[in-house]
Structure 1
Amino acid sequence: MNTKTFKHVDFLWDEKKADALGDDQVALFLYRSNILGADLRITNYGGGNTSCKTIEKDPLTNEDVEVMWIKGSGGDIGTLTKAGIAGLYTERLRNLKNVYGGLQNEDRMVGLFNHCIYDLDSKAPSIDTPLHGLLPFKHIDHLHPDALIAVAAAKDSEKVTKEIWGDTMGWVPWQRPGFDLGLQLEKCLNDNPGIRGIVLGSHGLFTWGDTSYESYINSLEVIEMASEYIEKKIKDNGSVFGGEKLKSLPKEGRLEKAAQLMPMLRGLCSSEDRMIGHFNDSDVVLQYINSNDLERLAPMGTSCPDHFLRTKIQPLILNLGTDADASDTETILKKVKPSFEQYRQEYKDYYETCKKGNSPAMRDPNPVIIIYPGVGMFSFAKNKQTARVANEFYVNAINVMRGAEAMTEYTSLPRQEAFDIEYWLLEEAKLQRMPKEKPLSRKVALITGAGGGIGKAIADKLASEGANVVLTDIAEDRLKEALATYPGDTASYAICDVTKTESITTAYKKACIDFGGVDIVVHSAGLAISKPLEETTEKDWDILQNVLVKGQFELAKQAVGIMRRQDLGGDIIHIASKNGLVSGPNNVAYGTAKAAQQHMTRLLAAELGGDHIRVNTVNPDGVIVGSKIWEGDWAEGRAKAYGITVEELPAHYAKRNLLNEIIYPADIANGVFALVGILDKSTGNIINVDGGMANAFVR
């Protein structure tokens, strides 16, 4: 099969890149893994497993031994590196058959994998290790392609497998991953010599080859054949998911509804732990959620363990209707809250019915996937990446349901089987190994003036402490440049002119759509004008009032609306100035605006305490290096006021503070972090970050 015949998967093998790796089989296995993981139709983030076997020198005997290299526990094949794999003696792994005591012995076997380690720098071996080790092939791919899981989840899956591949593919019924499943794969191969792969019922696919390229091509060809078979069945059926039940709102209407609704959904999903959101209104999602079969299929739950471990066994469906006014918080909450209460109760019933004596404690009973017919699909999880990946996995589940329904009929795992995977002690151990979350994890911060200077430094600090950040500024080029400095799933941006109410509204919509809402708002956008009274124009006065004071007012007003819908409290931080406390020369317009910012902080703190929304101020002074406001007339004005040159300003400001220190943007960012990440019982306060200015002391 040449590359042009692949319609349903991406052929990504690059001969030049592969040739550059020479005969390094581990490097070629990693390369194959990465390109397989790059296509979400083949396997999603963290899903699947790949391996290769090589001949190495035993460091103890200097004899040639076979070593299996395999993706370690919790890794992702799309981003897999040498540091993420385990290297095990193949013979030792196979010798574990001599001590295996049956299904009740599965968890013990995982501990014995460590006795098979060859490479002392290995990642912890995954539960799939024996599935690869008990098969003889040099290169093996265990994948979760949508098309293959559709076959695996279809009623009469074994019969469908035969129809598509004849005698060239094996089939084994559903069984929880572990040593015994490895024995079943070995038996299937022994009973069917010459097969090119094995379909695992309700689970996925195993394929192989003598080289990395052969394994890759074999995987793609098997997936392509299943995809073509499903495509023909869908075409023959004439409709998908029983046809369309309702029409979607137009794109803008969907986004408007989602932006209004997400803070409320986020609050409800955060009844135990604060969550971050993701929204998806792709054509694939809309076809499913608008269909006649949604109410039948969704409660059945997902079939593949990799799916429901991330999505929970089933979604929550919102029965609101597309004409519901999502801005009417009180009415919507009355309709939605009972649905959440019912979902939580059903999850508790599922836990109580299926739990065993040694089961871990019940986890968060809130939904991960929320479906709003006609609008889109929401997902909520501990961080943006997890929420996005859960959403992607449910899209995979949609594709599986569509394919299975087209072939015969979709089937899902029995609830007890699903529970045994979800609450598997090994899965719990994996969760307990997760690194400790950072102080601002699960929080969303919107920062104005974040295209550079103090605003960008604040965004950097909050992101480094775990927050998702929404950068806003009036200059898109600066925003794009700033956004590029953050890793994926960390930040987004919105062009925002804080003097315009509608521009602020658009920025908050972006925060809600991208992350589910907002927890921290930092007003750092600003400008400075230094002139004597007689030279200060009405235009100077107005722009300072509009940007610093009116902008702060409107930002707070809209933020509070969102924070109240979330019902999670929040933080509002105003970046003011020492000049709001000190009566300096040639500064009437700027100093007055800064004083207004400071007093607005106190007024808002007094009003919003009952909502647990804390409002505080950080007062910088003399932030010259790296600060945008010191570029141009302001620096010249301040230099003139003090009778010095612009070049002398940094030293001047450093000498006049008690610590004799230059103040940098990062120092202001630390002040903001202290208020949002440490001083969680502070409101109405001012933190001066000025090196110590006695005339600016607030007490």
Structure 2
Amino acid sequence: MTTVYKHVSYLWDEARAAELAGDEVGLLIYRSNLLGADLRITNYGGGNTSCKTTERDPLTGHDTEVLWVKGSGGDIGTLTRDGLAGLYVDRLHRLRKVYRGREHEDEMVELLQHCIFDLASKAPSIDTPLHGLLPFKHIDHLHPDAAIAIAAARDGKQITRELFDGKIGWLDWQRPGFDLGLKLLECVEHHPALIGVMLGGHGLFTWGDSAHACYVNSLDVIEQCGRYIDEATRSKGTVFGGMKRTTRAAEERRAQAVALMPVLRGLCSSARPMIGHFTDDDRVLEFIASNDLERLAAMGTSCPDHFLRTKISPLVLELPADADLSDAPALRDRLVTQFESYREGYRTYYEMHRGADSPPMRDQNPVVILYPGVGLFSFAKDKATARVAAEFYINAINVMRGAEAVSEYTALPRPEAFAIEYWLLEEAKLQRMPKPKPLSGKVALVTGSAGGIGKAIALRFAREGACVLINDMNTARLLEAEQELRQCLSKDQFIVAPLDVTKPDTIRSAAEAAVLAFGGLDIIVNNAGLSISKTIEEHSGQEWDLLYDVLVKGQFLVTQKGVEILRRQAMGGDILNIVSKNALVSGPNNAGYGSAKAAQLHLSRLSAAELGQDGIRVNAVNPDAVIAGSNIWSGGWAEGRAKAYGVPVDELPEYYARRTLLQTVIEPDDIANACFAFVGGLLGKSTGNVLNVDGGVPAAFVR
């Protein structure tokens, strides 16, 4: 065992492992989670791990050997028992008798179902035979950057032989499947002293007699690869042919990214709405500033796990790092030509390699976009997929860097890449994925979303697939909301930022945070508000100004910033204004609040009339008496309304319910449902409308 690791992290905890003693499957999961926690070893969803145990066969009562291996579509970093496939080892070996050769490879995947031992198994992956046919108790198949760098080098086979003194075998590139499993078995049978096998252009197989021995063997091999690359890099003196371009300062990169991302997102969303991710990681900046950028980027990635998430190659923007990006139409015109060239290249790639049974061509837009001097942008169906694509491309950069240091980088041949990308088994996996939710690919900014109506709207949108920006002017309330939402939403579904609708700087910074996190905006909900209920004589001018600043000017300022982003995207969008029945009903002690709400409502109509030409819909929701979790009931509003209606404060909710036609209390979720009705896809041709959610107040009827 190596005593000091630099290129991997040794995370094994003897105490934790001792708790799992005797539970080989538990130790498999523990080992897998440790390996998956280090992105230098494998990315999300990449690689697979296994162990073999002796179990009692429920049909015969005899002991039988069972393979436990990561199931299809799983992730070793988050693997749990229900993510494993359990199969009879003897049945897997019997498949050798019915295997009809590589041209019938795909039928073997269906036959794996006949080898299932554990009826609760996850579907077995195409890599199952690679684990099941080998004789070892514990096996790791990983995609470490350092190992793939050698596997993707022109002299990779020779380097592997010399570096490991024949202890690591080599198999040339071959698509995963039953035949590769047979070749692995043949390799270890002819070379029993092997401690692992390097798969050309693909990854690494290592094994051990115990979970710990397998773990340490994997780390030792990866560490040795990393040290070899480090030494070669130092000897060479330069990486990627040296630096060709200047990298902008961090704040300048961020400003360029904010200006560019909505335009890129609009272009990448020509087939379906996409969510973006931006990174200016040091490894990215080194690569995109180099002399070898164009040559290596055009070659594409080598490991199938990389390009299945990133496409075979990225789009490298022909755009100066200090370009003026303020004129969105001019910028879009400049980029359209580059996007069309990329799409045409992808169409050519598809037509050149397609077969009679190839699935239809998929989205032709790039997934990864490199902006020299600024950073990397990635776009996908959701934030997690876009983020993982960027992580995988950084791994590909690491691979290219290492391969160029030790020899010369070689990419997977295009026909082989196409065979993987458009493999019928991969297509079947895509077809099995859940259908997108109504708001998948959408980004929403809901003002005042740390509580009450705003939080209910944001939660509803997130549960329908949207990414949301949670914000509030009250930082304590915002922190509390963040902690609560982390219990029910993933880290990729929302971000938080302070926002005071009366302060343009906070509106700008919050909107820019949404752009950097998700690529842009699609839905703006003006919900932030306050209320003051006083007679005309008691109402101060300062209170009047505050109401109009928050409700009317705040709606205007947030809409103004939102429209700027929506227009840069050129994808249309939705603006929803949470107004009130008080915009239409003339009640007592309500001159300031009621007139401000009326202004909000008419501003909604004016915005709808102006923004329709951009495909931007503007609609209003008129709640009434939403008491639960609402800030407007503090600061004397409840007392003021109770006084106006001549009822005790504690009877106010009942009073509001009694006066409605439906005799019902209005909850925050009711408003959230109304908002979703506008943006969920069924009312895409409606704008300038008002939807009352007040239980039925006849005086508030619009018509």
Q: Fold conserved (TM > 0.5)?
A: yes
**SS of 1:167's equivalent?**
coil
Partner of residue 195, structure 1: 194
Partner of residue 691, structure 2: 687
Residues 329 and 568 of structure 2 are in contact (CA less than 8 Å); yes or no, is this contact kept in structure 1? no
Residues 48 and 140 of structure 2 are in contact (CA less than 8 Å); yes or no, is this contact kept in structure 1? yes
Q: Which amino acid aligns with 2:673?
A: N
Residues 378 and 390 of structure 2 are in contact (CA less than 8 Å); yes or no, is this contact kept in structure 1? yes
Partner of residue 565, structure 1: 568
Note the alpha carbon deviations across 1:654-673, whole angstroms, 9 max, x for none. 11111111111111111111
Residues 262 and 569 of structure 2 are in contact (CA less than 8 Å); yes or no, is this contact kept in structure 1? yes
- The CA distance in 2 between the partners of 1:41 and 1:74, in whole Å, is 20
Partner of residue 597, structure 1: 600
Residues 316 and 371 of structure 2 are in contact (CA less than 8 Å); yes or no, is this contact kept in structure 1? yes
Residues 266 and 517 of structure 1 are in contact (CA less than 8 Å); yes or no, is this contact kept in structure 2? yes
Partner of residue 20, structure 1: 19
- The CA distance in 1 between the partners of 2:54 and 2:584, in whole Å, is 74
Q: Does 1:313 align with 2:312?
A: yes
Partner of residue 80, structure 2: 81
Q: Tell me the CA shift for residue 397 of structure 1.
A: 0.1
Partner of residue 491, structure 1: 494
**SS of 2:685's equivalent?**
coil
Note the alpha carbon deviations across 1:501-553, whole angstroms, 9 max, x for none. 22211111111100000000001111101111111111111111111111111
- The CA distance in 2 between the partners of 1:204 and 1:229, in whole Å, is 17
**SS of 1:43's equivalent?**
coil
Partner of residue 246, structure 1: 245
Q: Does 1:145 align with 2:144?
A: yes
Match of 1:662 among 652, 661, 665: 665
Q: Which amino acid aligns with 2:229?
A: I
- The CA distance in 2 between the partners of 1:477 and 1:344, in whole Å, is 47
Q: Tell me the CA shift for residue 645 of structure 1.
A: 2.2
Q: Which amino acid aligns with 1:601?
A: S
> Which region of structure 1 is more displaced relative to structure 2, 484-493 or 688-697?
484-493
Partner of residue 648, structure 1: 651
**SS of 2:594's equivalent?**
helix
Q: Tell me the CA shift for residue 644 of structure 1.
A: 2.0
Q: Which amino acid aligns with 1:397?
A: A
Q: Tell me the CA shift for residue 331 of structure 1.
A: 2.4
- The CA distance in 2 between the partners of 1:296 and 1:669, in whole Å, is 51
Q: Tell me the CA shift for residue 334 of structure 1.
A: 2.3
Q: Does 1:36 align with 2:39?
A: no
Match of 1:576 among 571, 574, 579: 579
Q: Tell me the CA shift for residue 646 of structure 1.
A: 1.8
Partner of residue 608, structure 1: 611
- The CA distance in 2 between the partners of 1:607 and 1:381, in whole Å, is 31
Partner of residue 509, structure 1: 512
Q: Does 1:292 align with 2:291?
A: yes
Equivalent runs, 1:291-440 vs 2, <5 Å: 291-440=290-439
Q: Which amino acid aligns with 1:549?
A: V
Note the alpha carbon deviations across 1:488-507, whole angstroms, 9 max, x for none. 20001221111122221111
Q: Tell me the CA shift for residue 142 of structure 1.
A: 0.3
Partner of residue 555, structure 2: 552
Q: Tell me the CA shift for residue 36 of structure 1.
A: 0.7
- The CA distance in 2 between the partners of 1:320 and 1:214, in whole Å, is 50
**SS of 2:87's equivalent?**
strand
- The CA distance in 1 between the partners of 2:165 and 2:639, in whole Å, is 82
- The CA distance in 2 between the partners of 1:608 and 1:331, in whole Å, is 20
Equivalent runs, 1:182-261 vs 2, <5 Å: 182-261=181-260
Note the alpha carbon deviations across 1:392-418, whole angstroms, 9 max, x for none. 000000000000000000000110000
> Which region of structure 1 is more displaced relative to structure 2, 608-617 or 515-524?
608-617
Q: Which amino acid aligns with 2:246?
A: K
Q: Tell me the CA shift for residue 482 of structure 1.
A: 1.9
- The CA distance in 2 between the partners of 1:480 and 1:239, in whole Å, is 46
- The CA distance in 1 between the partners of 2:439 and 2:525, in whole Å, is 14
- The CA distance in 1 between the partners of 2:512 and 2:116, in whole Å, is 51
Q: Tell me the CA shift for residue 156 of structure 1.
A: 1.1
Q: Tell me the CA shift for residue 453 of structure 1.
A: 1.0
Partner of residue 58, structure 2: 59
Residues 522 and 573 of structure 1 are in contact (CA less than 8 Å); yes or no, is this contact kept in structure 2? yes
Note the alpha carbon deviations across 1:656-698, whole angstroms, 9 max, x for none. 1111111111111111111111322221111111111111111
Partner of residue 472, structure 1: 471
Q: Tell me the CA shift for residue 555 of structure 1.
A: 1.3
Equivalent runs, 1:523-538 vs 2, <5 Å: 523-538=526-541
Note the alpha carbon deviations across 1:416-460, whole angstroms, 9 max, x for none. 000000000000000000011111111000010011111111100
- The CA distance in 2 between the partners of 1:203 and 1:478, in whole Å, is 49
- The CA distance in 1 between the partners of 2:163 and 2:480, in whole Å, is 50
- The CA distance in 2 between the partners of 1:385 and 1:547, in whole Å, is 35
Residues 626 and 664 of structure 1 are in contact (CA less than 8 Å); yes or no, is this contact kept in structure 2? no
- The CA distance in 2 between the partners of 1:478 and 1:351, in whole Å, is 52
Residues 368 and 377 of structure 2 are in contact (CA less than 8 Å); yes or no, is this contact kept in structure 1? yes
Residues 285 and 377 of structure 1 are in contact (CA less than 8 Å); yes or no, is this contact kept in structure 2? yes
- The CA distance in 1 between the partners of 2:332 and 2:456, in whole Å, is 38
Q: Tell me the CA shift for residue 14 of structure 1.
A: 1.5
**SS of 1:641's equivalent?**
helix
Q: Tell me the CA shift for residue 185 of structure 1.
A: 0.6
Residues 483 and 491 of structure 1 are in contact (CA less than 8 Å); yes or no, is this contact kept in structure 2? no
* TM-score, normalised relative to structure 1: 0.99
Residues 66 and 88 of structure 2 are in contact (CA less than 8 Å); yes or no, is this contact kept in structure 1? yes
Note the alpha carbon deviations across 1:543-567, whole angstroms, 9 max, x for none. 1111111111111112112111211
- The CA distance in 1 between the partners of 2:368 and 2:122, in whole Å, is 31
Match of 2:630 among 616, 627, 636: 627
Note the alpha carbon deviations across 1:579-637, whole angstroms, 9 max, x for none. 11100111111011100110111111111112111100111111112211112311111
Partner of residue 450, structure 2: 451
- The CA distance in 1 between the partners of 2:133 and 2:302, in whole Å, is 25
- RMSD, aligned α-carbons: 1.0
- The CA distance in 2 between the partners of 1:152 and 1:577, in whole Å, is 64
Q: Which amino acid aligns with 2:694?
A: D
Q: Which amino acid aligns with 1:20?
A: E
Q: Which amino acid aligns with 1:599?
A: H
- The CA distance in 2 between the partners of 1:642 and 1:527, in whole Å, is 20
- The CA distance in 2 between the partners of 1:465 and 1:214, in whole Å, is 45
Q: Which amino acid aligns with 2:205?
A: F
**SS of 2:164's equivalent?**
helix
- The CA distance in 2 between the partners of 1:164 and 1:582, in whole Å, is 82
% same residue? 62
Equivalent runs, 1:122-141 vs 2, <5 Å: 122-141=121-140
Partner of residue 178, structure 2: 179
Q: Which amino acid aligns with 1:95?
A: R
Q: Tell me the CA shift for residue 22 of structure 1.
A: 2.5
- The CA distance in 2 between the partners of 1:97 and 1:475, in whole Å, is 66
Residues 50 and 71 of structure 1 are in contact (CA less than 8 Å); yes or no, is this contact kept in structure 2? yes
Residues 85 and 118 of structure 2 are in contact (CA less than 8 Å); yes or no, is this contact kept in structure 1? yes
- The CA distance in 2 between the partners of 1:74 and 1:47, in whole Å, is 9
Q: Tell me the CA shift for residue 480 of structure 1.
A: 2.8
- The CA distance in 1 between the partners of 2:700 and 2:334, in whole Å, is 52
Residues 471 and 496 of structure 2 are in contact (CA less than 8 Å); yes or no, is this contact kept in structure 1? yes
Residues 437 and 465 of structure 2 are in contact (CA less than 8 Å); yes or no, is this contact kept in structure 1? yes
Residues 576 and 618 of structure 1 are in contact (CA less than 8 Å); yes or no, is this contact kept in structure 2? yes
Q: Which amino acid aligns with 1:495?
A: P
Residues 442 and 466 of structure 2 are in contact (CA less than 8 Å); yes or no, is this contact kept in structure 1? yes
Q: Tell me the CA shift for residue 254 of structure 1.
A: 0.7
Note the alpha carbon deviations across 1:455-478, whole angstroms, 9 max, x for none. 111100100111000112112332
- The CA distance in 2 between the partners of 1:628 and 1:18, in whole Å, is 50
- The CA distance in 1 between the partners of 2:198 and 2:430, in whole Å, is 28
> Which region of structure 1 is more displaced relative to structure 2, 442-451 or 156-165?
156-165
